[in-house]
Amino acid sequence: MKITNVEAIVSASALSAPGSRRNYVYVKVETDEGITGWGESTCGPVTVANMVDEMGATLIGKDPVRIEEHWQELYHLYHNVRGGVIQMAAISGIEIALWDIKGKALGVPVYELLGGPMREKIWTYGRFDGDTPELAVEHALQQVSTGLTALKGDPFHHTGIFISAEAEREAIAIVTAVREAVGDDVELLVECHGRLSPTPAIRIGNALEELRPYVYEEPVPPQNIDAMAQVAAAVSIPLATGERLYTKWGFVELLEKQVVGLIQPDICHAGGISELKKIAAMAEAYYVGIQPHNPYGPINTMAALQLDACTPNFMIQEGGHHPWFDEVVVGEFPKQIDGYFELPTGPGIGLDMDEVALRANPPVEIHPPEGYVKAARSAWGSKQQTMWS
């Protein structure tokens, strides 16, 4: 079997938020035996599609099942761009598509090629986001009514990394209200998106301790591991990070310093299925769990589920079912049932994409949310009222 074509398809799909759009980058790999593999390289900018096409051209005529060999060749193809999100998202999407081909050729799900399943269902979570405690509670109760037993939310509405006293009180009030509303049997994951500096991150973490969060995600920006270590040493809640780290090498220092209890590599960014399997094995040696990051398209979810099924230190999976998935997926996308995904049973990653539907939704122009623009301008500005004591 030989690869005959590698192509990126950029498609815009509606998100759950009214009027919100995002561009998704899917990877289609075709073979001379008629088997087509699908991957995903969504990372924000559509320029990643050019990288997919350029890298993919080097694989034409090659055997698609030699996945590790192709990964190494693509990773070392460009010396000065190695390890960045554009390169790694492109490699990830191609690699996932190659696993899809291999699984389809052998007639088995990918997890059967990675040691076989060790669980029959995959624990997942919903959201409790809201601008006020009342709205967050309303959102949380709606999610719990569907059977979900874990919820994640970002209660921080300030800009920059220096939080005001008012924003700090609001964040703690939101998490407190949600905990009181859903009770102690629902796990709460508190997400910060790196919008705190170490001092307030420690103070807020200690204030949240009695609410027993499952994890405290990216309380400080992930680039400075020593700053995150300060928080880890002073807060009893397990920390999580990893969605902005790429390849096994990006996780070495984080794991060696034993800063986190949970890592969150993105299967469409960090290197694909094989690379996440390696990262998870590294984390296992440090008694660290894994929760693949996944706010993107259906292939991201399906590829992650393949990993989750056969990974000893898997803990919980991000991502659910969006109504628009049904418009672009061939077959039925697995639903969340009582807080779990059932294992995919189809060969490969478990689904195909409707190419006609994808091409019917051309990419749209994306503008950054106003809040992010303000954050970039004011992160170090004098208008921020900060709490240092």
Q: Which residues are catalytic?
A: 193, 293
The C-alpha torsion from 31 through 32 and 35 to 40, rounded to 10°, is 10
Distances from the Cα of 54 to the Cαs of 5, 144, 245, 363, in angstroms? 11, 45, 23, 19
C-alpha Rg value of the chain to the nearest Å: 21
Instruction: Identify which of 4, 82, 94 has the alpha carbon closest to the alpha carbon of residue 49.
Output: 94
Tell me the CA end-to-end span of the chain in Å, nearest whole number.
65
Distances from the Cα of 301 to the Cαs of 8, 132, 304, 389, in angstroms? 18, 30, 5, 42
DSSP assignment, residue 66? Answer: -
Contacts of 243 (CB under 8 A, 6+ apart): 218, 264, 265, 266, 269, 293
Structure tokens at 24: 């998704």
Contacts of 49 (CB under 8 A, 6+ apart): 8, 9, 10, 25, 41
